[in-house]
Amino acid sequence: MTTDAPDTTTVEGASNDPRADATISLPDKVEMKKTREGFGRALVDLGQQDPRVVVLVGDLSESTMVHFFAERFPERFIQVGIAEQNMMCVAAGLAAMGKIPFLATYGAFASCRSADQMRVTVAYSNLNVKIGGAHGGISVGPDGATHQAMEEISIVRSIPNMSIVVPCDFWETYKATIAAAQHAGPVYIRFGREDVPVVTDKNTPFTFGKGEVFAEGRDLSIIACGVMVYEGLRAREILAQRGISARVVNLHTPKPLDRALIERCARETGAIITAEEHQVHGGLGGAVSEVVVQSTPVPMELVAVHDRFGQSGKPAELMDAFGLRAKDIIAAAERVLARKRRA
Amino acid sequence: MTPNTLSANDLAAGHARGRLAWSAERLTPKALEIRRDIITLLAKAQTGHSGGPLSSTELGTVLFFNELNVDPANPTWPERDFWHFSIGHVTPVIYSLMAERGYFPLKDLMKFRAFDGHAQGHPSKHDTPGIEVSAGSLGQGLSVCCGVAMAARIDRHPRRVYCVMGDGEQQEGQIWEASMFAAHYRLDNLCGIIDYNRKQIDGDVQDIMGIKPLADKWRSFNWNVIECPGHDIPELLKAFASAREHRGHPSVILAHTVMGQGVSYMADDYHWHGKPPKMDQAETALAELGTSYAEWSARLLAN
């Protein structure tokens, strides 16, 4: 959404927030839903709209939720088995013949195991392959470090021609998947495993490559992607009680990056916190920093996973332990505002 | 996934209009010209691979001038066959075949690997008309061809798909992922060709990482395996025809070749895998091939 149309995206059931011109505010009880279901549902709708859409999977039909598509369009569903490198290149061949292939596997395999195939065959040829990377982030939980993909943004955005989108909830994953089909060129869609708070609705505008101001603020900007958008909105409410006005930006597309919005946040609020369920090196925080230091230097804090592997545990425990909560954004806000005052 | 339901007549008719279907009598002198192109462009560039391009000259010439249903003036002709060299480093033979077939002017060969030319060191879709998918990291091309063959299956299109691989490349695990995939889906519109020259950068394939028994490996993966002497044009013609007519399995042609074939001092010597001849060495090679650098570079530049 843009700030020009602030009133169209209020979550149903949310109270009107008198504190600021928030466009998305949190209801008392937030609906929880899986982002991967948004991916699976969107594929069915795409399959219906466009006969060029085909879906490939590496033995993970139900956990990536492409089984909905498989049931509806069996003649356009390709089971590749446990062979992600092959899958990436088979998708490339389909794309070379005018198909719009979506492949689905876990993000750890999509981004790392088949990185060379993504670089050489897909991206260098600029083929119209859509990569669905499920199970992104520490919130994958009990499966542990091997299955908690936290490097996708760094890897994918460093490859020319690639785009990457990190939607924040069920509805945005649905829209990002539709938008990926409409975008000419390879796109990586990163989504998670668990039920996560639904903060947008069916009608919330979504533009590929454009960030959205979800809530206005003056003192600092929280620029987040994925589930950290929700944590940012929660942090904003608590900061407001302390007299701090925080802007929350959903920057769902780390590449192509909405530079203008980042520069505007730096200019108008003078301090930026980035928040992502991803390694700190080269992720959303890195992408935003690259813009800020070259155009409008302001104090920044990066809320992310700091150069360590994950571990088994409940998703909530891990989000706490790895510093990916509203409280961590609030602590970062105190630090960044102290530096802003000194500047 | 639905099986192939196209009839033999549909397949033959759909695969005819863009074929040159040259005989061995015409292919033999064309292969000699391709070899001269390879040596000349390498001599000009003073960079690039010699060995593999010379071992795959005959199989490439038969593929381009007999077998392939393509329209070089219209590289995206919807009825076209799909061809792909998974061994991207053999660009000297790929570009020579393309130029001789009419994809781009012969003079472009004289800018091989040059900053101001389109002929990249490894094939680039972005740069060269007719290259449909970039290549250069070994082991990926057969998977690409599986995707193309699958697209034809979905569309009930008579397209045939040809993938040229190396024998050293058989060491890449992804080859076997793709091999399993093609057999599982019975992609009989897919034909692999292995330039079995027994050499790779570091030495003999069997010394570096043995691949034998290669034919048995492909057979056990449920492929139709065709072995033939890879510099024998009539035998190559028979092999391609046999692959084209086989139904129910993908086919692979094991073309037994010699690295550096056609140039006496390069033949069967792995040191020539990845380097070009110096100018005096090129003159020796071109003399063996019945021409000279001056004569053949002039021919290329004039076209």
Cis omega before residue B92 (within 30°)? no
Residues of A within 8 A of B146 (CB-CB) are 86, 89-90, 93
pLDDT of residue A14: 35
| Structural domains of chain A, with CATH | 33-197 (3.40.50.970), 202-342 (3.40.50.920)
Residues of A within 8 A of B134 (CB-CB) are 120-121, 124-125
Average pLDDT, stretch A14-42? 75
CB-CB under 8 Å, A124 with B125: yes
Average pLDDT, stretch B203-232? 98
pLDDT of residue B12: 76
pLDDT-based confidence at residue A29 (cuts at 50, 70, 90): confident
| B185 domain residue, yes or no | yes
The first and second tokens of residue B119, run together, are 């002929």
CA B232 and chain centroid, separation: 15
- pLDDT tens sequence across B91-111: 999 999 999 999 999 999 999
| B2 domain residue, yes or no | no
- Residue A180: pLDDT above 60? yes
Q: How far apart are alpha carbons B145 and A301 in whole angstroms?
A: 47
- Minimal-distance CA residue of chain A relative to B137: A120
Query: Parallel, antiparallel, or unpaired: how do β-strands A53-57 and A100-106 relate?
Result: parallel
A9–B contact, CB cutoff 8 A: no
Q: How far apart are alpha carbons B122 and B216 in whole angstroms?
A: 31
- pLDDT tens sequence across A50-65: 999 999 999 999 999 9
* Structural domain range at position B21: 8-301
Which amino acid is present at A316? Answer: A
| B12 domain residue, yes or no | yes
Neighbours of B242 (CB within 10 A): 15
- Residue B123: pLDDT above 50? yes
Q: What percent of chain A stands above pLDDT 70? A: 93
The first and second tokens of residue A114, run together, are 């088949």
Range name among A9-13, A165-169, A192-196, B274-278 with the lowest pLDDT average? A9-13
Q: How far apart are alpha carbons A306 and A323 in whole angstroms?
A: 9
For all residues of chain B together, what is the average pLDDT? 96
Gap from B70 CA to chain A (nearest CA, Å): 15
Say whether B42 sits in a helix, a strand or coil. helix
Phi-psi region of B222 (alpha: psi -120 to 50; beta: other; left: phi over 0): left
Within the 146-175 window of chain A, which residues sit less than 8 Å (CB to CB) from chain B? none
CB-CB under 8 Å, A127 with B147: no
pLDDT of residue A3: 33
- Residue A295: pLDDT above 60? yes
pLDDT of residue A22: 54
Average pLDDT, stretch A112-126? 98
Q: Could you say which of A84, A151, A276, A277 is catalytic?
A: A84
A117–B contact, CB cutoff 8 A: yes
Given A76, A90, A121, which is nearest B146 (Cβ)?
A: A90
Residues of A within 8 A of B145 (CB-CB) are 93
Chain B residues interacting with chain A (CB cutoff of 8 angstroms): 1-2, 82, 124-126, 132-137, 139-141, 143-152, 154-155, 173-174, 177-178, 180-181, 184
Residues of B within 8 A of A128 (CB-CB) are none
CB-CB under 8 Å, A80 with B178: no
A84 is a catalytic site residue: yes
pLDDT of residue B28: 98
CB neighbour list of residue A201: distance below 8 Å, 6 or more residues apart = A9, A11, A12, A171
Mapped to the 3 state alphabet, what secondary structure does A93-140 carry? Answer: HHHHCCCEEEEEEEHHHHHHHCHHHHHHHHHCCCCCCEEEEECECHHH
**Cα atoms found within 13 Å of the Cα of residue A52, Cβ hemisphere only:** 12
Residue B18, Cβ density class (10 Å: 0-12 exposed, 13-18 middle, ≥19 buried): middle
For all residues of chain A together, what is the average pLDDT? 93
CB-CB under 8 Å, A120 with B135: yes
- pLDDT tens sequence across B31-43: 999 999 999 999 9
Q: Which of B124, B143, B144 is nearest to B134 (CA)?
A: B124
pLDDT of residue B9: 77
Given B2, B145, B177, which is nearest A85 (Cβ)?
A: B177
- Residue A161: pLDDT above 70? yes
Range name among A1-15, A167-181, A315-329, B189-203 with the lowest pLDDT average? A1-15
How many A×B Cβ pairs under 8 Å?
113
- Minimal-distance CA residue of chain B relative to A115: B137
Average pLDDT, stretch B217-229? 98
State the complex-level ipTM: 0.96
- Residue A8: pLDDT above 60? no
Domain count, chain B: 1
CB-CB under 8 Å, B143 with A85: yes
Gap from A44 CA to chain B (nearest CA, Å): 18
pLDDT of residue B1: 58
A59–B contact, CB cutoff 8 A: no
pLDDT-based confidence at residue A18 (cuts at 50, 70, 90): very low
Range name among A8-22, A261-275, B172-186 with the lowest pLDDT average? A8-22
The first and second tokens of residue A147, run together, are 């299955």
Each as own residue / partner, the long-range contacts of residues A3-11 (CB below 8 Å, 24 or more positions apart, any chain) are A3/A213, A3/A216, A5/A205, A6/A216, A8/A203, A8/A204, A8/A205, A9/A200, A9/A201, A9/A203, A9/A204, A9/A205, A9/A214, A11/A198, A11/A199, A11/A200, A11/A201
- Exposure string (b/e) for B36-49, b if CB count within 10 Å is 16 or more? bbbbbbbbbbeebb
Q: How far apart are alpha carbons B297 and A140 in whole angstroms?
A: 61
CB-CB under 8 Å, B137 with A94: no
Residues of B within 8 A of A114 (CB-CB) are none
Question: Do residues A304 and A274 make contact, with C-beta atoms less than 8 angstroms apart?
Answer: yes
Residues of B within 8 A of A54 (CB-CB) are 154
Q: How far apart are alpha carbons A318 and A192 in whole angstroms?
A: 14
Given B124, B143, B180, which is nearest A89 (Cβ)?
A: B143
CB-CB under 8 Å, B1 with A96: no
Residue pointed to by tokens 């050293």:
B168
The pTM (predicted TM-score) of the whole model is 0.94
A103–B contact, CB cutoff 8 A: no
CB-CB under 8 Å, B146 with A121: no
Average pLDDT, stretch A318-336? 98
- Residue B145: pLDDT above 60? yes
A53–B contact, CB cutoff 8 A: no
Question: Do residues A196 and A140 make contact, with C-beta atoms less than 8 angstroms apart?
Answer: no
A52–B contact, CB cutoff 8 A: no
Neighbours of A88 (CB within 10 A): 34
| B3 domain residue, yes or no | no
- Residue A87: pLDDT above 70? yes
- Residue A13: pLDDT above 90? no
Instruction: Cite the beta strand spans of B29-166 per DSSP E.
Output: 82-85, 161-166
Query: Parallel, antiparallel, or unpaired: how do β-strands A100-106 and A212-215 relate?
Result: unpaired
Residues of A within 8 A of B140 (CB-CB) are 85, 89, 116-117, 120-121
Q: Assign residue B98 the CATH number of its domain.
A: 3.40.50.970
Q: How far apart are alpha carbons A55 and A61 in whole angstroms?
A: 10
Given A76, A83, A89, which is nearest B140 (Cβ)?
A: A89
Range name among A112-121, B12-21, B167-176 with the lowest pLDDT average? B12-21
